[in-house]
Structure 1
């Protein structure tokens, strides 16, 4: 029997007072127009005829009462300000809610697998959302194990490991920057006698800014300027803890940063927020900046680490997972992510090595 996999993707749903709903293909078409700059190529890309695509645009421009696309002879097709806002709105909702949707899909997939006659070895992993972590479901399929992946904060992941709710937990810490408050939260759940570290990846953290850096932002200290709007991560995330430590090291009070109390839940959501023009700068990984066409100012590197009980480390499913992390295929995939490296991926070390 073929394996069944459920994927849940959030999306916007617009309707008017009569209950008329916007065709979801409109968002696909608008994104394709933004990428290809020609209606003919955009229509072909999403599998529509030119006439059908044009009717779709005209119909939903009438729905909103404003043009969504502007066609100019010799210049192709371009999104209007509302068209751009709709594209960014969809990208923001995808970026913000992807971790929650992945958690729900993981639970559904586990139930589906349990109902089938042949169940693959199950590995439960709890970790914070990240671009390299997103590669793990495909890796698990390639090595014939079932991955039950749940996104959570690093502290929640470590608590789950200690309560037996997961086999592997993920957390991250910066390289060459001490974060005592962050490590103090982790310490009660890290047990050197019974836990082992599995090296995962390193990634570059820094400031994401608008293309060409119009506000000339070059350092954390620039965030104090009154003309700069910042977007932060939620207060229980590892990235937020790192950012707060950087502020403390620089002698900057949070209240001196406009937007410090505004937050999003993923690196990609931060980047989407800036790309939509709702903020000028945010803190996160380089890949998020690249994904949304932003400039990036590197600040520090960070290790993403996995923790496992020594006894579980000997199991066939964990050993298969570790071999997958060591594989050239996985390392090559990670190398395609801007600012990421998997040089030591799959290496086992003691907790005292962090």
Structure 2
């Protein structure tokens, strides 16, 4: 037929996933119908007394059920059809009946939660009573409590309740099943060599799937480990790649070269701006505004405290550092520490903001805390920032100035890593007070007792300062739109924002 397709020519082979261009070629060749594989039907059954559907009012002891939404989306991406059942309570006879029905009506059955050892874990025993449990527990982390079974020749997978565990296990066991039903093979993700920005210790006997953020530092792709908790779903939201730590390896060292499976486009990864150091809510606004105005660039923050930021600059594993380190000798911010820790590095210091630090307390200030002196009262529970943070340095300076022994403060050694975590602890009532910024107090509807106004700077190596991505970032910092959004939070002075303090 013309010069495109001739009689008896094979247009597409068997087990070929049909693309839009294939449809055109088929129609051009006079093929108006063809046999296709049916999308495999996958039953997705969430279980657990503690689960409630999204949208219902949450109460103590209840958890919003969203794993089924994630698994349904993955099944759709893989070419299957998900049938999501209503939440099944922890009643064995009900779960048994539903599993039998699902096995008859679907190609694959997935049970969500109920796969961890516990007083109400019935899934494994029920599957044994109506089918076979082939495996209960696999050598991966997260995802260890996965169940693999069969009911009436229908494969069953029991996924763990923690979202990251469920996703990783689904990728490893459910995805190949769906692809096999479609006559396809799972393609490996693109892999690249990366260098570890931190040492990671892993457990022998399990293959660990480490979620990481990536950044291009001096032509070398660095990998920054994200939270390893099986329940921290945002670690996969933020992840650029996965690193597999083999089951017979006890971890990876700082600087070690390893393989990473890409979850994001490599060109986009190379435009990540890595900022390490002190936490502030302003960084979230900065990230959002950067994405809106210059969508090719992304700001990636690691909240490790001001000293941690300077150390990252020293070890050349970040583009920028944020800091608010007060020198108790002369009252200067950041510059004395930079001179001491980075004497050989050419840097520019740009002010981001001046901000109010104070004591965050519950609404109404029930313990009548009026200043630093009150923190030593016996009935006051305090929560501190971690060692090396600028807020910790400020507190120690104020305590020394007033002649207060830190050990007299109940909770001085209890630490958190961000202002929001401190504010959250105060809001939920586990502590009475914590030092932090006004914007964090406002976010949790807390009262605030001011104690200091401090300078919060960005430290930029000169070799990065003139780069396109840093200039785009500075454009946002100096914009009126950014300023308005920051000032709306309260507790900020932007009179020097965007100005170079040290060349």
Give distance in 2, aligned partners of 1:339 and 1:290. Answer: 9
Is residue 2:253 matched to residue 1:225?
Answer: no
Residues 121 and 317, structure 1, Cα contact 8 Å, conserved in 2:
yes
Alignment of 1:325-344 (within 5 A): 325-344=477-496
Cα deviation for residue 154 of structure 1 reads 1.7
**How many residue pairs were aligned?**
269
Q: Note the alpha carbon deviations across 1:257-300, whole angstroms, 9 max, x for none.
A: 12212222221111221222222211111112112121111010
Please give the secondary structure, in 2, of the residue aligned with 1:129: coil
Give distance in 1, aligned partners of 2:263 and 2:342. Answer: 33
Please give the secondary structure, in 2, of the residue aligned with 1:29: coil
Please identify which structure carries the higher helix content.
1
Give distance in 2, aligned partners of 1:140 and 1:281. Answer: 34
Q: Note the alpha carbon deviations across 1:119-176, whole angstroms, 9 max, x for none.
A: 7744222232221112222122122323333332222222222332222111113599
Cα deviation for residue 344 of structure 1 reads 2.2
Give distance in 1, aligned partners of 2:322 and 2:331. Answer: 17
1:29 to 52, 57, 63: 57
Residues 230 and 282, structure 1, Cα contact 8 Å, conserved in 2:
yes
Structure with greater Cα Rg: 2
Please identify which structure carries the higher strand content.
2
TM-score between the two structures when normalised by the length of structure 2:
0.48
Is residue 2:275 matched to residue 1:125?
Answer: yes
Give distance in 1, aligned partners of 2:389 and 2:327. Answer: 17
Give distance in 2, aligned partners of 1:261 and 1:156. Answer: 19
Give distance in 2, aligned partners of 1:301 and 1:175. Answer: 14
1:275 to 399, 424, 427: 427
Question: Which one has more relative contact order, counting CA pairs under 8 Å at least 6 apart?
Answer: 1
TM-score between the two structures when normalised by the length of structure 1:
0.66
Give distance in 2, aligned partners of 1:346 and 1:177. Answer: 27
Residues 326 and 332, structure 2, Cα contact 8 Å, conserved in 1:
no
2:294 to 143, 153, 163: 143
Residues 345 and 461, structure 2, Cα contact 8 Å, conserved in 1:
no
Residues 334 and 341, structure 1, Cα contact 8 Å, conserved in 2:
no
For 1:108, the equivalent position in structure 2 comes to 240
Alignment of 1:3-152 (within 5 A): 20=48, 22-23=50-51, 25=53, 29-30=57-58, 100=227, 106-108=238-240, 111-115=262-266, 121-141=271-291, 142-144=293-295, 145-152=297-304
CA RMSD of aligned residues (A): 3.5
Q: Note the alpha carbon deviations across 1:162-213, whole angstroms, 9 max, x for none.
A: 3322221111135999568987655433448711111111211011112111
Give distance in 2, aligned partners of 1:176 and 1:337. Answer: 29
1:154 to 284, 306, 319: 306
Give distance in 2, aligned partners of 1:108 and 1:27. Answer: 30
For 2:346, the equivalent position in structure 1 comes to 194
Unaligned ranges ≥5, structure 2: 1-46, 60-86, 91-225, 243-261
Alignment of 1:289-308 (within 5 A): 289-308=441-460
Please give the secondary structure, in 2, of the residue aligned with 1:30: coil
Please give the secondary structure, in 1, of the residue aligned with 2:51: coil
